[in-house]
Amino acid sequence: MASQNRDPAAASVAAARKGAELSLEFPSGYPYNAPTVKFLTPCYHPNVDTQGNICLDILKDKWSALYDVRTILLSIQSLLGEPNIDSPLNTHAAELWKNPTAFKKYLQETYSKQVSSQDP
């Protein structure tokens, strides 16, 4: 649910994420080792690279065997709305994030091109 006071760039990201697909691969050492989580659908975001890899501390050095899939998904949802632009995987997205209008424009242009190229 989008709030009226929400940052327009964050709202754009949330809208773009509708229908997004993630891959979760659980290692043999799970739950003591973190799963590998990636976006399968394109995700233009400061903390997601072009291959869909996600930079999220709980999937790396802050992992705990107490975390479950719900915790992972909620953390990703939170990251989408509040990225860590000080440690980006996608520096272009991190720079644009600082200007919500430019970020939203870039998303609209990029995703409208992708959608129109998929139309029959």
Question: Is 46 domain-assigned?
Answer: yes
How many structural domains is the chain composed of? Answer: 1
pTM listed for this prediction: 0.77
Question: Is 4 domain-assigned?
Answer: no
Question: Is 65 domain-assigned?
Answer: yes
Q: pLDDT tens for residues 84-115?
A: 999 999 999 999 999 999 999 999 888 776 55
Question: Is 1 domain-assigned?
Answer: no
Question: Is 77 domain-assigned?
Answer: yes
Mean pLDDT for the stretch of residues 45-53? 97
Examine the residue annotation and report whether 55 is marked as an active-site residue of this protein: yes
Q: What is the pLDDT of residue 20?
A: 86
CB contact at 8 A, 56 and 79: yes
Q: Which of 10, 55, 76, 107 is catalytic?
A: 55
Q: What is the pLDDT of residue 112?
A: 73
User: Which domain, by its residues, includes 37?
Assistant: 19-107
CATH at residue 73: 3.10.110.10
